[in-house]
Amino acid sequence: MYPKQQSQKGLPKGELVGFIASYLLSKRFDDEDEATDAAIDFIDFCKGRAWVLTDVGSEIFGFTHRTFLEYFAASQLVRLSPSADALYEELFERIVAQEWDVVAQLAVQILGRTVEDGADDFLQLVVSNAHLKDQVSRLNVASFAARSLTFIVPRPPVLRDIVDHIFSLYVEEGVNEARSSEVLGQLTGAAAENLPLIEKYLADAAERSLRASFGSASRALLVLWYTWTFRSSVEVDDENRQYWKKNRAALRERAKPHMKEVYRDHSWVAVRLWADGDIELSELLSVHGLVSLYERLDVSGSSRIAPFATTVVGHLLSGSEVERFDRLAKELNDSLVTLPTPWISARPEALEHSARIDLDPSPIAIVPSDADIPSDATRLGAVILLGLPYLELRARAKGGHKRQNRLLDAWGFLLAFRGGQIPRREGIPFVERLGLESAALEFVLSWAERRVSVLAEPR
């Protein structure tokens, strides 16, 4: 029934009788009429009963649930092809074409239970022969193998081949980035027993790629730096998610030497090195400009990392990782006020619509409802200064902010001051009461009075 799409919904009684009679004649009876009578008796017995096989329409018989059909189809496949080689011959082209997915997955599980190393040998054959196919087909094979790891724990060489196949596709030139990212993300949902070796083999593959300069260096580094954020069609439970978060520090340490070699080519790499104290802010700004702090990072097909400016603001407001973000706040206070203006030379419309730059969430949008103005002048200065590009864009769009708490009121006041809704005699004392450091205070006043702009003027 399963190989024919139409038959999956059910078979007419006469056709089903013929199918069952033919089977019984080859296995049980030596008389065709007796086999046919037995088939009719069996079907009549099933009629009207909500069992595995029942009538689903007028003289139409089928399985009460598709799961039964798929399971029995998989079981029969393994009975007729009871070895890895034989099952591979039956299923490889189906997997390549992304057909019979559930049945193929079930068949591999059944083969693994009934034949020693059956599932391992099958996956080895599938992955080893994928190179004969086009890129789309290879991605389909990679996805099948990755999802198989949720219920199969293969021997290490097989697991390594699967991971290598998936990684090589992920960094391949011209690959469908969304699809290859999804497939790589499917590895993060593997059975817990597979995760340590998957982590090791992914890191090994990324480092080989970086040393040999094949594939995209940026995407190879993303695997090491952001593996735990990859999204996929496989549901990743909390245990798996915590595993990747727990082990991300070790993966990032393996990335660091390579990041220091390529940070001039990739702004997100330079930003992460600055955040960790590996390069100076002046170096980041010299190579990539301040706009690098406002760029959104597409990690995978459906996973994005917010601009680092919003990350800094969030940590400065929450008081987390105090030592690290106090250092960043001081560097920002010291450096931003000395930068030539406008800070960001991209035209505002380009800034707003660029795929590389994110304005939502802005630092303003992520302020928690109970946030207050930081008492530390350096922290507050960094928060306000980082918010100015967003404020200026909002001002040009004639936008505003609802009064929710003191910090939003401060941003809203600055926005109104720059927009001319608040007179100078009221605006200057308010800004002075914020308690900013002198250089930051002078810059913010200059901005509020429209003596400087942080964004280039529209063309």
CA 366/CA 186 separation, integer angstroms: 30
Checking if the pLDDT of 26 tops 70, the result is: yes
Mean pLDDT, rounded, of the chain? 82
Please tell me the pTM assigned to this model: 0.76
Least confident span in 29-33, 66-70, 74-78: 66-70
Tell me which residue of 315, 334, 335 sits closest to 325, measured CA to CA.
315
Q: Tokens in use for 438? A: 């002198």
Checking if the pLDDT of 36 tops 90, the result is: no
Checking if the pLDDT of 279 tops 90, the result is: yes
Which pLDDT does position 52 carry in this prediction? 59
**Residue range 236-248, pLDDT digits in tens:** 788 888 898 898 8
What percentage of the chain has pLDDT greater than the value 90? 42
The identity of residue 396, as a single letter, is R
Which pLDDT does position 234 carry in this prediction? 64
Q: Tokens in use for 219? A: 């995407």
**155-160 average pLDDT score:** 96
- What is the C-alpha radius of gyration for the chain, rounded to an integer number of angstroms? 31
**Residue range 384-405, pLDDT digits in tens:** 999 888 888 777 665 444 444 4
State the residue for tokens 């995209």.
Answer: 216
**Residue range 91-114, pLDDT digits in tens:** 999 999 999 999 999 999 999 999
CA 217/CA 209 separation, integer angstroms: 8
CA distances from 115 to 71, 149, 382 (A): 18, 18, 63
CA 421/CA 432 separation, integer angstroms: 18
Which pLDDT does position 368 carry in this prediction? 47
Checking if the pLDDT of 358 tops 60, the result is: no
Stronger pLDDT, 170 or 62, i.e. the higher one: 170
Checking if the pLDDT of 434 tops 80, the result is: yes
Which pLDDT does position 217 carry in this prediction? 86
Query: Per-domain residue ranges for the chain?
Result: 6-64, 308-448
Checking if the pLDDT of 274 tops 80, the result is: yes
**Residue range 400-431, pLDDT digits in tens:** 444 444 455 677 788 888 888 889 998 899 88
Checking if the pLDDT of 84 tops 70, the result is: yes
CA 368/CA 383 separation, integer angstroms: 14
**356-365 average pLDDT score:** 45
**307-325 average pLDDT score:** 82
Stronger pLDDT, 71 or 91, i.e. the higher one: 91
CB atoms within 10 A of CB 309: 25
Q: How confident is the model at residue 69 (pLDDT cuts 50, 70, 90)?
A: confident
